[in-house]
A and B are shown apart, each in its own frame.
Chain A
Amino acid sequence: MSEIRLTVNDKKRVVDVDEDTPLVWILRDTLALTGTKFGCGVGVCGSCTILENGKAVRSCQIPASEAKERAFVTIEGLSPDASHPCQRAWLEEDVAQCGFCQPGMILTACGLLHDQPDPSDEAIDAAMSDSVCRCGTYPRMRKAIRRAAALMREKKA
């Protein structure tokens, strides 16, 4: 066990875990931030996606030893009131069905829009296709991402 210092949703946290503990379990079991989901543990479903410096990263692929001194944002930290453009767009397009994969999907979309504020349809498909939604919410997700991009541009203008 070792003390790992990291920042989650702007709060400094010190956790006492094994160095090989994947960040997804630190978030879920140690910090009780269960909005970050476990789906596969091997980086192929995207459910555990969180943000670091605006970019989407998979928390199941980051061991505690590598999470040290880094700062992450989980779905709970995206906005306190569902006001982030991605959350708003998700609600306006009524994307979710069971909803389980959606935190990861929303944060994956945030990562895409951080890099490409006005992504092409191809770029959207490419960025989102490493993630799994078994309910099949992809058509609405596509629309929501375009809407979120427009909302973000509006905000800047």
Chain B
Amino acid sequence: MITSRRAFLKTAALGGASLVIAFDDKRLFGADKNDTAQFKPNGWIRIGADGTVTLTIGKSEMGQGVRTSLAMILADELEADWSRIKLVQASPGPDFKRLGTGGSFSLGGSWKILRQSGAAAREMLIAAAAARWKVDRATCSAANGSIVHTPSARQLAYADLLSDAAKLPVPTDPPLKKPGDFRLIGKPTKRIDGRDIVTGAARYGIDTKIPGMLYASIERPPWAGAKVKSTQEEKAKKVRGVRQIVPCTNGIAIVAESTWAALKGRATLAVEWEDPPKEAFDSEAHSKRLEAASREKGFITRKDEAPAVTSAVARTIEATYHYPFYAHAPVETMSCVADVRGDRCTIWVPTQAPNSLQEAVAHSLGTTPEKVEVFVTLIGGGFGRRLAVDYALEAAELSRAIKAPVQVLWSRGDDMKHGHFQAASAHRLSAGFDSAGALVAWQHTKAGSLHNLEKLPRPEAVRDAGYYQDLSWGVYDVPYAIPAIETRYVTVDLPVRHGPWRAVFAPSSVFAREAFLDEVAHECAADPLAFRLELLKGADQVKAGSLTIDRRRLRRVLEVVREKSSWGAAVAARHGRGVACNVYDGDTHIAYVVDVAVNNVGNVRVERVIAAVDCGLVVNPIGVEQQIEGGIIWGISSALLGEITFRGGTAQQSTYADYGVARMRDTPSIEVHIIPSAATSPFGMGEPPVPPIVPAIANAIFAATGKRIRRLPIRPEDLKANG
């Protein structure tokens, strides 16, 4: 049973959170003919009598810029006046049955349907104007919110054509603009919410205020299954503003009239939990299990047999790479407001998974999804954490229990200790050389854990290669031409909460692959960049699972970073230059050259990053640059700063003080080169910049110090001079 990878990821791999706008064609393409005061040709576009164009955005905005880029696509085909655009955020309902944001699928997945929607509306407006003027519609065109009759230079604003256009049939296959005619797509466009952000007017989940709303903070068991030993309930009830103390599924909720009263009540409650059992989860022990598992057979995700002409392996080198647990640690902690009334519920929530959330809340309340109304707010950082719906279930449960609207707000410590962590993994790699010293065999086994956002989508017995490939991007999709390639996945049970992170599950895999390739190049006494280019010769395109890797595009980004970085030029002592590259999900191609300096006590400073990217057709060049900058900084955090460790079943970190994240002082100079692409559609950029940055840093550190980085985060004590 081979599953289409994309179809699979859409429906299963990320906890059932579907990733692409799914739509009910009939509804979305059905004009609303009952309302002549406005023109609503489909679920995405509404033009009001005053000419304001309201666009519905079906993806959650969490910093990746979708509200801007998706609006640009719609407005370009619609030929709308960009200065008169308003946005509304889609809610689950008859128009939107599978809302979900993740996997960097927003642009690629929305591109065609949004263009068709914009074009359909534009064609209806042109037809309406041509009929009004009684002219051939071929002599009319749309521009900037108006239809123009070119021969007579007559003009009609969209606002004047609404009722006529609304009466027309919706074209099912409208002509799309030629790329040369794009007015917005491809132009540097500033963030549409920028002004709201800099004035404090932007509303995130945590900013939701509704009349009568109470505030709750939940004390959660430190390890799974922990029981309460003692509390100071009577004292806590006396804290001014505390209304109720409510035991709930995930712990004990303190409900109060203000956030501060809830937090104070929680501190006063002073819950003592039982001590954890000896066998409670410990990340150090888990790391050993992962290492042992990386030597097991596991599931084969790719096997390219060497052609018979290839001479036998005469020598091998091998290495094991270790990847730790990481938290998402968005600056906006988890929060949700729920208002349950009878069998109905209204939710305001910063989520990446609106429809999954709606279904899960309905299920938990014993009602039906259509009785759960979900409003998606702006998100103060998602990174995959908000594909889980746990915090919404908490709010719904509490609102029902206390019969009032309530906001559940997680403290920073709650967020750090009770996340859906990026799981640790171990990677066993080996490279085989023939008697002439050429690389002829590559093996990579990833031992890791899937996710437990909800019950696993498929029992082990029916998981196939496609299933494991989805979970090992960066392992099986080796882009290099090596005669024999074998990749495997070994599943290791993991009792703590875990799930996708920025770049889903790819960062650990690409770190191991690209760092080990550097070891192989060194073994061959080859320049690591030239070595990669050499391995990308041969067939221009290669299949890996359901992906097609285009080696020409990868070669091109490597050539660009080679040129722009003055690759090969001499560097100072304890300075080094490293390279890494990756094709994300068969789509976005990125190469980095990183310069580092390592001081005598082993502190690493990333000084400069040269990036080259081919992300297909570019919708918003500013957005591409922002995501590369952000992805690099995300990678610097994971390479050099915080990790999550567990003792006694409990995550030991609780703030940005003990879980380090990159600050401005850690930020290198960054130069982004966007390569004109042969592709005619866009690929996502939120995640692809993350995976190759960590190995590029690790490889630069080797160049600077001669020390291999096989474990993250990188520790200064391992890099001391003469150490």
Chain A residues in the interface with B (C-beta under 8 A):
1, 17-18, 20-22, 25, 28-30, 32-42, 44-45, 47, 74-76, 78-79, 81-82, 87, 90-91, 94, 96-103, 106, 124-126, 128-142
Contacts and interface: CB of A to CB of B under 8 A. Distances in A.
B229 interface: no
B64 interface: yes
B661 A132 contact: yes
Contacts of A74: 200
Given A25-B259, A100-B380, 9 more contacts: A38-B259, A45-B656, A97-B626, A98-B63, A99-B193, A100-B332, A103-B200, A132-B661, A139-B629
Nearest to A30: B258
Contacts of B195: 82, 91
B63 A97 contact: yes
A3 B125 CA distance: 60
Interface stretch (B40-48, B88-96, B204-212): B204-212
B338 interface: no
A44 B654 CA distance: 11
Interface in B644-658: 655-657
B353 interface: no
**Sorted from nearest, which 10 A-B pairs have the closest CB atoms?**
A35-B200, A100-B380, A136-B633, A98-B63, A75-B200, A97-B63, A99-B197, A136-B630, A34-B207, A129-B663
B633 A37 contact: no
Contacts of B412: 39-42, 45
Contacts of A76: 199-201
B663 A91 contact: no
A77 to B, nearest CB: 9
B100 interface: no
A13 B258 CA distance: 18
Contacts of A38: 206, 259, 333, 409
Interface string B183-215: 000000011011111111111101101000001
B690 to A, nearest CB: 10
Interface residues of B, number: 65
Contacts of A96: 191, 193-194, 197-198
Interface string B312-334: 00000000000000000111110
Given A37-B206, A44-B656, A87 B331 contact: no
Contacts of A139: 629, 667, 669-670
Contacts of B669: 139
A131 B663 CA distance: 7
21 contacts: A28-B207, A38-B333, A39-B331, A42-B657, A44-B657, A82-B195, A87-B199, A96-B197, A96-B198, A97-B630, A98-B330, A98-B332, A99-B193, A125-B664, A125-B665, A128-B664, A129-B666, A132-B663, A134-B381, A136-B630, A140-B629
Interface string B238-260: 00110000000000000000111
Interface string B330-368: 111100000000000000000000000000000000000
Nearest to B241: A18
A56 to B, nearest CB: 14
A126 B64 CA distance: 27
Contacts of B75: none
A123 to B, nearest CB: 11
Q: Which of A79, A103, A133 has the most CB of B within 10 A?
A: A133
Interface string B357-390: 0000000000000000000001111110000000
A22 B261 CA distance: 11
B338 to A, nearest CB: 18
Contacts of B203: 34
B633 A94 contact: no
B519 interface: no
Contacts of A103: 197-198, 200
Nearest to B202: A99
Contact of B655 (A34, A40, A87): A40
